């Protein structure tokens, strides 16, 4: 559940260093969330027993990623660790919360330890680029030049599992492109300047009660013999995710009209 030991980073006693007591406290919340969205996962058997990377499309927000991690823990006893933006670990107060939730920075050497322990890592390369853009753009991959996950997979010879969730772009109706506006005005993508409307049209309210269906495909294996192995792996992963997004995009309802902030 992206939850490991206490906030000081001490390991727990469960699988993958998960703290069972902490997990038990938050599980009822995610159980209610899963029921609210009638969440189902297909392809869970594709996740190998050893270390791997789960690479997916960033929902609005990433509720589906948390529910996928919960399902893996419940059904397979696997403790998924989420790779988060390194900047959050430099913010007082927020850093402790991230560690308490089991999140790790993609730039820290501790990733090697986690992989050595056989832990699966979950990465959302689209990050705020995909999460905080206008709902006019739906089920469309936007990773920019981000290839860190591919370098990590090659360095540790990790199989990559792809996942996409139908319904992820319907959790909120978003006005404005929060990522680009934030970059333009503040120079950082950590201040999403957009307006998300949730259930009953409430700004920043609970998510809409839409059905979420997560599908896993792969694995895609790194090929160190390729002329440019990082670029080749990145291209294969993007093509795979795009192929999974295409049918969702084609049958998705149109986004808002007359959005002055898009």
Residue 179 lies in a domain: yes
Q: What is the pLDDT of residues 26-76, one digit of tens each?
A: 788 888 999 999 999 999 999 998 889 999 999 888 889 989 988 888 888
Residue 226 falls inside a structural domain: yes
Q: Has residue 257 been placed in a domain?
A: no
Question: How much is the pLDDT for 78?
Answer: 77
* 9 within a domain of the structure (yes/no): no
Question: What is the C-alpha to C-alpha distance for residues 131 and 99, in angstroms, rounded to an integer?
Answer: 22
Task: Judge contact between 191 and 131, C-beta under 8 A.
Answer: no
CB-based burial label for 118 (10 Å; 0-12, 13-18, 19+): middle
What phi, psi does 97 have (nearest 5°)? Answer: -65, -45
Beta-carbon contacts of residue 2 (< 8 Å; ≥ 6 apart): 66, 69, 80, 81, 82, 101, 102, 103, 122
Nearest CA to 122 among 87, 152, 144, 155?
A: 152
Here the tokens at position 54 are 């789960």
Q: How many domains are contained in the chain?
A: 1
* pLDDT at residue 95, as a whole number: 66
The verdict on residue 138 lying in a domain is yes
Please check whether residue 143 lies inside any domain of the structure: yes
Report the pLDDT value the prediction gives residue 18, as an integer from 0 to 100.
53
92 assigned to some structural domain: yes
The answer for residues whose C-beta is within 8 angstroms of residue 193's C-beta and 6 or more apart is 176, 178, 181, 182, 185
Place of tokens 């209610």: 32
Predicted model pTM: 0.82
Exposed/middle/buried for residue 178 (C-beta within 10 Å: 0-12, 13-18, 19+): buried
Residue 68 sits in a domain of what CATH number? 3.40.1130
Positions in the chain whose pLDDT score sits under 70: 1-23, 87-88, 93-102, 106-110, 112, 252-262
Query: DSSP labels for 236-256?
Result: HHHHHHHHHHHHHHHHSPP--
Residue 256 maps to a domain: no
Ordered alpha helix ranges (H), 37-121: 63-76, 94-100, 110-116
**Containing structural domain, residue 143:** 15-251
């Amino acid at each position: 559940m992206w939850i490991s030991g206490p906030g000081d980073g001490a390991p727990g006693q469960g699988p993958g260093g998960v703290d069972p007591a902490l997990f038990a406290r938050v599980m009822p919340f995610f159980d209610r969330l899963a029921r609210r969205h009638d969440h189902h996962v297909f392809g869970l058997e594709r996740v190998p027993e050893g270390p791997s990377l789960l690479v997916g499309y960033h929902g609005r927000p990433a509720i589906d990623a948390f529910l996928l991690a919960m399902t893996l823990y419940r059904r397979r006893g696997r403790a998924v660790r989420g790779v988060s933006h390194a900047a959050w670990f430099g913010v007082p107060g927020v850093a402790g919360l991230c560690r308490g939730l089991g999140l790790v920075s993609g730039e820290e050497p501790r990733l090697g330890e986690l992989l050595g322990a056989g832990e699966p890592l979950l990465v959302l390369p689209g990050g705020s680029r995909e999460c905080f853009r206008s709902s006019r753009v739906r089920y469309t991959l936007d990773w920019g030049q981000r290839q860190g996950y591919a370098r990590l997979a090659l360095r540790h010879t990790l199989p990559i599992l792809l996942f996409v969730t139908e319904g992820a772009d319907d959790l909120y109706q978003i006005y404005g492109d929060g990522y680009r506006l934030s970059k333009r005005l503040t120079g950082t993508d950590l201040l999403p300047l957009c307006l998300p409307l949730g259930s009953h049209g409430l700004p920043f309210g609970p998510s809409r009660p839409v059905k979420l269906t997560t599908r896993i495909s792969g694995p895609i294996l790194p090929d160190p013999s390729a002329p440019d192995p990082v670029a080749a792996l990145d291209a294969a992963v993007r093509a795979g995710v795009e192929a999974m997004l295409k049918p969702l995009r084609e049958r998705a309802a149109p986004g808002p009209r007359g959005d002055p902030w898009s």
